[in-house]
Structure 1
Amino acid sequence: MSKRGELRRSQLLAAAANRFWRQGFGNTSLADIASDANVPLGNVYYYFKTKQDIAAGVADIFVAETETMLREVAQAEADPRRRVQALIRRLSESNRSRVERGCPIALAARDFSEAAPAAARRAASAFELLIGFIGRELQRTGARPSIALSRAREIIVEWQGGIALAHALEDPTILAEAMRRAEQKLLQSNYQ
């Protein structure tokens, strides 16, 4: 595909991700996506045969962005606890948009599940990447694998639960408190 074609494809995926996040997969039409991307509707089919293909592309974006973030955190910090703290800080950078709209990854995993189940699973794998990263880093601090995995899940549950409740109640302090609790879980010293 040419550079211009890649740009158009990226524009369509960005527009779709934004629309899916704002109004849901089922309520978004190909015409909405094309309009938001400034691409003629007929050209959408050159890049994607179905809306399910677009969902798969959006899920791939979530995974790629998560992988990039984890790589950057790993490169920036050598200490395992600091790496997880840095990750929590990075996740907190999007608190405002999460309070306003919820988590785009969680919404995709839910919204894609009936019409595009493979895309739903792919979107959810971003959570698996986060849990795996945190678990491995906690193991590096001496935690047993089962404890490290449990703590990693607790941190992600705290984050996602905070997003859900903060979004529902339109209260950013709920998410800020959840992120502080996530960091406290990290700092708990009894991993054995």
Structure 2
Amino acid sequence: MPRPASDKRERLTTAAIHLARTEGIQSTTLAAIATEAGVAPGSVYYYFKTKDDVAAAVADGIAELLAAQRAEYGTDAKAALAALLSAYVDDAAAIRAHGTLLATASAGTGSDRAHREAIDWVSEQFEALGFASPAARARAVHLLATVEGGAALARALDDPSPLEREAAHLERWVENSSS
């Protein structure tokens, strides 16, 4: 039974994200996206006219995926930040193989949307803990820089321990945070 046409863009975007993460956006071709999504190669051009359109869809799609993940972390700021850090550790195998979704969102796409939204969300969590906006933003940048750096080292060394250590350190730091 054929799939409904209405989900074709979503399937193509999901395929593009997967290929961008595993192969890199520069190596991802429209033909590979079509194959991965299970659609006719010509139909890709209806949704993505250029490689820049693919890059924009990848960046936006990842930003939306990450926002959906964050929405599931709940409203308790400390628990939400702990859940974010746990998600990195839980994804360690994929991170070691392909890097983080956040890194993929900007690599070759020219978009900083996912990073900005992540920083904004983490800042909001620190503000909920009582930190003034500038201090909350500084803490957000520190948290994301540290966990993304740990992830980059885990990938480069093919060893999850840098990511696990940094996430554990950050979890303790968050737990002890108060303004």
Aligned equivalent of 1:89, options 86, 89, 98: 86
The share of aligned pairs that are identical, in percent, is 29
Aligned equivalent of 1:181, options 154, 169, 172: 169
Q: CA deviation at 1:90?
A: 3.0
Q: Supply the AA of the counterpart residue of 2:45.
A: Y
Q: Supply the AA of the counterpart residue of 1:96.
A: A
* Cα distance between partner residues in 2 of 1:6 and 1:59: 21
Q: Supply the AA of the counterpart residue of 1:73.
A: Y
Q: CA deviation at 1:185?
A: 2.4
TM-score (norm 2): 0.88
Q: Supply the AA of the counterpart residue of 2:142.
A: E
Runs of 5+ in structure 1 lacking a partner?
113-119
* Cα distance between partner residues in 2 of 1:133 and 1:27: 31
Match of residue 138 from structure 2:
150
* Cα distance between partner residues in 1 of 2:88 and 2:33: 27
Q: CA deviation at 1:14?
A: 1.4
1:40-79 equivalence runs, <5 A = 40-74=40-74, 77=75, 79=76
Match of residue 115 from structure 1:
none
The answer to whether the Cα contact below 8 Å between 2:25 and 2:107 also exists between their aligned partners in 1 is no
Match of residue 29 from structure 2:
29
Runs of 5+ in structure 2 lacking a partner?
none
Q: CA deviation at 1:15?
A: 1.4
* Cα distance between partner residues in 1 of 2:64 and 2:124: 19
SS of equivalent residue, structure 1 residue 111 = coil
The answer to whether the Cα contact below 8 Å between 1:158 and 1:181 also exists between their aligned partners in 2 is no
Q: CA deviation at 1:127?
A: 2.0
Q: Supply the AA of the counterpart residue of 1:62.
A: I
* Cα distance between partner residues in 2 of 1:81 and 1:137: 7
Q: Supply the AA of the counterpart residue of 2:93.
A: R
Q: Supply the AA of the counterpart residue of 2:27.
A: N
Q: CA deviation at 1:73?
A: 1.6
